[in-house]
Amino acid sequence: MAINPNLGKLTRVPLREAWKHESGEFTPWLAQPDNLNALADALRLSELVFVATEHWVGDFKLDILCTDGDDQVIIENQLEETDHKHLGQILAYAAGVGAKKVIWVADSFRPEHASALEFLNENTTDELAFFGVQVELWRIGDSPLAPKFEVVVKPNDWAKSGRVLARAAADASPTKQLQQKFWMALIDKLANAAPQIRPQKPRPQHWLNNSIGRSGFGLNITANTRDERLGVELWMPGLQAKQHFANLSSQKQAIETALGFPLDWQELPDAKACRIAAWYPGASIGDESRWDEYLAWLTQRLVKMDQVLRPVVKGLP
């Protein structure tokens, strides 16, 4: 077999060749939706939805404030090697905005700073997560520069999930334990059948939160043991919920045609929230022999509703 002599060579390029200024060039670049999505993919997060750059926290400015659909996420970035100053800043900013996820992006990580993030992941609550991400620039020959996110530190998800399950087994009711077991099975199913759908960490409750790419909305999953039904719902809480619902209702026919199935449109006039849902009645998760059936239905509905509703939601005023 002939050896191809035309293969190129990967060359790493200093970050300053692409971004001369951290706040004026790199932060706005990272805050763009495509780049936040690439960062979320590298971290195996469901999504990172932009909220603000240069967000004031006391007398200081946080580089990027995001949400993962449920909780606040902060991103602090450097075009240089990590330093003690930024380590202190991420802790102050996390406390200032009540962030549940902290992402530190830098050119490179000093060992003591990587160890500090690992220490925080091992010794804080299960709800907190600290990430260290090295941003790299590469090119082949004269090709355009290609960025890459290399995860240096992330939470030990297996250990934290184990602690959650252990507490659930010890403290939760049999129904709550069953709910968490069902959500774990659904997440395993999605990881293989629809990896683009990445719900939040499962908890012993009747719902599982899932982002749809915009703050103030969630494409969530419910398993109501009392009414014996499963559901996938576009959940809209907050002061703008009624206006969002009205805008979506005006597109009802087009949405349901694209989905291929009807939805239950609930304005919820007495609540500061609205929902649009698909239901699977007569589904009791207590009957584990039917779980394959339930998981297949939820996966199909989640994928289709995400595909159709995501661009519509992002386009709402």
pLDDT tens track for 36-91: 988 988 888 777 888 899 999 988 899 999 987 668 899 999 999 999 999 999 99
Q: Domain 10-155, CATH 2.40.160 — does that match?
A: no
Could you tell me the pTM of the whole model?
A: 0.63
Domain spans of the chain? Answer: 10-155, 159-314
Residue range 276-297: mean pLDDT, rounded: 95
In the prediction, which pLDDT does 159 show?
Answer: 47
Residue 271 pLDDT greater than 50, yes or no: yes
Question: 158 pLDDT exceeds 50?
Answer: no
Mean pLDDT of the chain: 89
Sequence-separated (6 or more) residues with CB below 8 Å from residue 152: 109, 114, 132, 133, 134
Paired sense of beta strands 101-106 and 72-77, if any: parallel
Instruction: Please name the CATH architecture into which domain 159-314 falls.
Output: 2-Layer Sandwich (3.30)
The DSSP 8-state label assigned to residue 138 in this structure reads E
DSSP β-ladder status, 60-67 and 129-140:
unpaired
> From the centroid of its chain, how far is CA 258?
25
Tell me the angle at which helices 174-193 and 157-171 cross, rounded to the nearest 10 degrees: 150
47 or 5, which is more confident? 47
List, for residues 219-239, the tens digit of each pLDDT value: 999 998 888 899 999 999 888
Using pLDDT thresholds of 50, 70 and 90, give the confidence band for residue 153.
very high
